[in-house]
Amino acid sequence: MRQIYLDNAATTKMSPAAIQALLPCLDQVYGNPSSLHSPGQRASEALSHARERIARQFNCTPRELTFTSGGSEADNQAIRSAALLGARQGKRHIISTAFEHHAVLHTLDRLEREGFAVTLLDVHENGLIQPEQVAQAIREDTCLVTVMYANNEIGTIQPVAEIGAICRERGVLFHTDAVQAAGHLPIDVQGQNIDLLSLSAHKFHGPKGVGALYVRKGVPLTSLIEGGAQERGKRAGTENIPGIVAMAAALDEACGRMEENAAKVSALRDRLIAGLANIPHSILNGDPTRRLPGNVSFCFEGIEGESLLLLLDDKGVYASSGSACTSGSLDPSHVLLAIGRPHEIAHGSLRLTLSEETSQEDVDYTVEAVTQVVSYLRSMSPVWRDLETGKQSFVIQ
């Protein structure tokens, strides 16, 4: 049976280059970078080298990067640090959007319970926010704006540079969760006026459990984990050398082939979108062009996303209904609700995220598989019968 992995927004397969970079760190460069002896120094050099390679890809200095256990930790640390800094100046207002990753939203929930005020900007039906919304929401006591670079469920790309410019002008810190963007879209923290940025290796063919937080020079970072003085006291714990070295290799590879990959993958994405749009009463989620090269997200009326996923799995198509974090729960995706999809429609969602390894045959097979499964599920659904006989009216025309 064909096996088609279309869940690259949840995680990616490690690239051969990343694996090759990682392996010697397990048994050769095994020292603790804090040790003064030669094995320790070799590890310390590997760490510095990786930091320099990563810094180059984002146009920052190596000292502005702190390694973390991944995107969630970077998001938590960025937001907590900015909040603490704000509180010291009597500024306790934070601006974000309704469709951030839970690593951001749940951190904001916690801060709200600790006395911060949070404004969540409405997301337009096309999955974008306007920079003017940020400008209008900024108050005297705003200490942070946090808006994701690209959405993990519907793939839409936010006007980060414009938001950054507004924040810089108004003297407010700007954080962006760039976990879906890093390695896939060009990022220039200086040109885009970004103060804090989160990334995670496993979303660009690096290993899981490693990421980084960029913090502009002069912005003090608060440590979430107490312990040793690693990462210049900003993040305790012996550095994950294999992970960090492999992340640098994966990022270099992804950035080196970014244009080529984006052209190839977005052509396949558009072919997949065109194919799925032929299914009656279906709708694409998110702007058709201002989206990640590999992201396809649809809602199908009269369908339960979970049944769709299980039947697709039987056909060797590995997809998701939204974010991996909400799968297993019966709540509809907060992202789809944020762009105004009604509950019953949000339940019938399907996210297919492509990679450089996806082929045109994979796409054509997937279109056929989804078309068959949707039609099969509808043929058994009492809701669908009511829609067809006019007892209930269609939401998606």
Alpha-carbon Rg for the chain, nearest whole angstrom, is 22
Q: Which is nearer to ligand PLP, 85 or 324 (CB)?
A: 324
Helix (H) or strand (E) holding 145: strand 142-146
The one-letter code for the residue type at 386 is: D
| 33 binds ligand PLP, rule: CB under 6 A | no
Question: Could you tell me which residues come within 8 angstroms of residue 150 by beta carbon, excluding any fewer than 6 positions away?
Answer: 156, 157, 158, 178, 180, 181, 184, 185, 291, 292, 295
| 200 binds ligand PLP, rule: CB under 6 A | yes
Q: What share of the chain is helix, strand, coil (3-state, %, to 5)?
A: 45, 15, 40
| 180 binds ligand PLP, rule: CB under 6 A | yes
| 182 binds ligand PLP, rule: CB under 6 A | no
Q: Which is nearer to ligand PLP, 315 or 334 (CB)?
A: 334
Question: Could you tell me which residues come within 8 angstroms of residue 165 by beta carbon, excluding any fewer than 6 positions away?
Answer: 131, 193
Question: Could you tell me which residues come within 8 angstroms of residue 1 by beta carbon, excluding any fewer than 6 positions away?
Answer: 315, 316
d(CA 149, CA 314) in angstroms, rounded, equals 34
Q: Which is nearer to ligand PLP, 203 or 235 (CB)?
A: 203
| 301 binds ligand PLP, rule: CB under 6 A | no
Among the listed residues 360, 341, 359, the one whose alpha carbon sits nearest the alpha carbon of residue 350: 341
| 153 binds ligand PLP, rule: CB under 6 A | no
The CA–CA distances, whole Å, from 320 to 101, 168, 194 equal: 16, 37, 31
Q: Which is nearer to ligand PLP, 179 or 338 (CB)?
A: 179
| 294 binds ligand PLP, rule: CB under 6 A | no
User: Which part of the chain contacts ligand PLP (CB under 6 A), choosing from 107-115, 177-185, 248-256, 299-307?
Assistant: 177-185
E strands, 160-310, in order = 173-177, 196-200, 211-215, 282-284, 295-300
| 286 binds ligand PLP, rule: CB under 6 A | no
| 158 binds ligand PLP, rule: CB under 6 A | no
Question: Could you tell me which residues come within 8 angstroms of residue 139 by beta carbon, excluding any fewer than 6 positions away?
Answer: 93
Q: Using CB under 6 A, which of 148, 157, 241, 279 touches ligand PLP?
A: 148
| 211 binds ligand PLP, rule: CB under 6 A | yes
255 is catalytic: no
Q: Using CB under 6 A, which of 179, 213, 350, 370 touches ligand PLP?
A: 179
| 101 binds ligand PLP, rule: CB under 6 A | yes
| 143 binds ligand PLP, rule: CB under 6 A | no
Residues 55-74 that bind ligand PLP (CB under 6 A): 70-72
| 351 binds ligand PLP, rule: CB under 6 A | no
Q: Which is nearer to ligand PLP, 66 or 200 (CB)?
A: 200
Contact status, residue 127 vs residue 156, Cβ threshold 8 Å: yes
Q: Which is nearer to ligand PLP, 325 or 396 (CB)?
A: 325
* Count of residues touching ligand PLP (by CB under 6 A): 14
- Three-state secondary-structure class, residue 54: helix
Shortest Cβ 354–ligand PLP spacing (Å): 15
d(CA 285, CA 294) in angstroms, rounded, equals 14
| 213 binds ligand PLP, rule: CB under 6 A | no
Task: Give the binding site for ligand PLP (CB under 6 A).
Answer: 70-72, 75, 101, 103, 148, 152, 177, 179-180, 200, 203, 211
Which sequence positions are flagged as catalytic?
Answer: 325
